[in-house]
Amino acid sequence: MMEENYSNQIIDVDPELLSTLLQNPHLSQPTDEIGETALIKWVECEYKSRTGSTIKKQEIHGLITKLMLEQVLVGKRYGQKLLLKPTHNYYLLRDGQPMIQRNRAKTQVSLFEDDRECSLIWKTASSEVNEAEKDRTDVDERSILSQPISNHEILYNHLLEYMRHYNGQDKDLVKYFPAFFSLACNILNDKYADWHTKILISSALGYCVLGDDVISDDTEFGYLDDLYILCYVFREIERHASPALLDDNWKYPGNIHELVAEIYQDTYIVVQDYACEILHKVGLRKFNQLDLEEYAGTYPQKVAKLAQEKRELMALTAHLIKIIYRTNMDGRSLKKIKDFLMQYGDYTEIARLIELSSRDYKTEPSDTSNSNSMESFEEELERELQQAHLKALLKDQDME
């Protein structure tokens, strides 16, 4: 067991857990690599062997995240797999030597002219500040941040209180988190926000209050993933919904569009290796690949009409399949219908029904019984098609 204490180099970590991870035999050389999943399993077994107690996988994952942020490990993704590689700091840390400090400039956001008066968090007053100065600061706080707050007041105030005392390396970024959280809540309550926008906002807010997020809130950069996903959603709203939603619901100084663009870039620099995982956590990675513009009201009218006619045609085709093959095509996806017809389809039978429905029976020899039969067949077919059409539309509305 290693005797060195690493807590003075990396804050808020379990020294025994860190010691265990650093003894991994598969990372003995700078060129070695190991999968994140394999490393977690190895540490889990080794930790239990050394201490006799179990460790949660979430804690191991949190430590790996911390080491990546501190540039002790670097990662590269191949699909869903993350390969980890040690840096020079890994071996310095393992040998109990001081790590080389990261050469990352402190993020500066200068969109507000007067930082003390317009800052979105308040500087913690020192013990030497006199009472008059404290009163003046309180007035500044109320003039900027005491906006009408709805049901999210408790969590919003909790964030403000936390940011008052936050003194991390990226505090110039993190200080915007309460204001962006408030902006998201305001957009969610905006009557002009469509359902597509509401799903984006709800997903981002859900991530913000999630206890087990990708980058633990207990780490130094714990709130940057929350800030990143908020900025990501705001950019999506600005691009595909309505930029006015941001302007109308932003209650603070500064240009919200420039601010979102700048903070998005700065947060992405930190969380870029976890960006896909952050979006995947709440389903946004797949959600934005769907073709949803027509539902959000941003499709041209002609394209929206074609999409509607396509759905109607698919519904009628599914209904014909049900009549001919006695098969209920729930879902009515184009691929499902196509695959079914390719496997079981009798194209001649479908062609025959189409021909029957389009023939002019008035040119046929008059036969009252046959004529009535044909007319009843046409009426029945037309009635069933209309019913199928109505059911398809109702089902689409229910799904919306």
Is-contact 225 268, C-beta < 8 A?
no
Q: Which of 7, 8, 45 is nearest to 24 (CA)?
A: 45
Q: Which amino acid is at 301?
A: Q
Average pLDDT over residues 349-368: 56
Res. 31 pLDDT band, cuts 50 70 90? confident
Distance CA 120, CA 98 (A): 35
Q: What share of the chain is helix, strand, coil (3-state, %, to 5)?
A: 60, 5, 35
Average pLDDT of the residues of the chain: 71
Mean pLDDT of 258-272: 86
In this predicted structure, what is the pLDDT of residue 123?
A: 36
Give the tokens for residue 105. Answer: 């400039």
pLDDT at residue 47, rounded to an integer: 92
Q: Which residues contact 216 (CB under 8 A, 6 or more apart)?
A: 58, 62, 65, 222
> What are the backbone dihedrals phi and psi of residue 73, each rounded to the nearest 5 degrees, phi first?
-125, 150
Of 1 and 330, the one with more pLDDT: 330
pLDDT tens digits for 62-82? 888 778 777 788 877 665 577
- Collapse the DSSP code of 192 into the 3-class scheme (helix H, G, I; strand E, B; otherwise coil) and give the result: coil
Q: How confident is the model at residue 377 (pLDDT cuts 50, 70, 90)?
A: low
**Tokens (6 digits) for 367:** 């036969």
Highest mean pLDDT among 9-18, 205-214, 242-251: 242-251
State how far the Cα of 92 lies from the Cα of 17, in Å rounded to an integer. Answer: 17
Q: Please determine, for residue 398, whether its predicted confidence score (pLDDT) is greater than 80.
A: no
Lowest-confidence segment of 98-112, 226-240, 249-263, 368-382 by average pLDDT = 98-112
Residue 231: its pLDDT value, please? 92
List the one residue out of 89, 87, 85, 64 whose CA is nearest residue 75.
85
User: What pLDDT does residue 230 have?
Assistant: 92
pLDDT at 56 exceeding the cut of 60: yes
For 144-175, the pLDDT digits (tens) are 344 444 445 666 777 777 777 666 677 778 88
Percentage of the chain lying above the pLDDT 90 cut: 5
Ordered by where they begin, the domains of the chain are 15-94 (1.10.10.10), 131-296 (no CATH), 301-399 (no CATH)
Per-residue model confidence as pLDDT tens digits over 227-258:
999 999 999 888 877 788 898 898 888 889 98
Distance separating alpha carbons of residues 356 and 378, to the nearest angstrom: 9
State residue 361's pLDDT score: 46
What pLDDT shows up at residue 224? 83
- Whether the Cβ atoms of residue 106 and residue 270 lie closer than 8 Å to each other: no
Is 50 exceeded by the pLDDT of residue 263? yes
Residue 113 pLDDT grade (very low, low, confident, very high; cuts 50, 70, 90): very low
Average pLDDT rounded to a whole number, residues 256-280: 85
**Better-scored residue on pLDDT, 219 or 161:** 161
The DSSP letter of residue 83 is E
Return the pLDDT at 42. Answer: 92
What are the structure tokens assigned to 187, written together? 């957009």
Q: Convert the pLDDT of each residue in 320-353 to its tens digit.
A: 777 777 777 666 667 777 777 767 656 666 666 6
Q: How confident is the model at residue 298 (pLDDT cuts 50, 70, 90)?
A: low
Q: How many residues does the chain have?
A: 400
Instruction: Tell me the average pLDDT across 383-395.
Output: 70
Pick the range with the lowest mean pLDDT from 11-25, 144-158, 301-315, 383-397.
144-158
Q: Residue 217: its pLDDT value, please?
A: 66
Is residue 371's pLDDT more than 60? no
Q: 387 Cβ partners below 8 Å, 6+ apart?
A: none
Confidence of residue 105 (pLDDT cuts 50, 70, 90): very low
As beta bridge partners, residue 73 has 86
pLDDT of residue 354: 61
Q: What is the model's pLDDT at position 370?
A: 52
On the question of pLDDT at 289 being above 70, the answer is: no
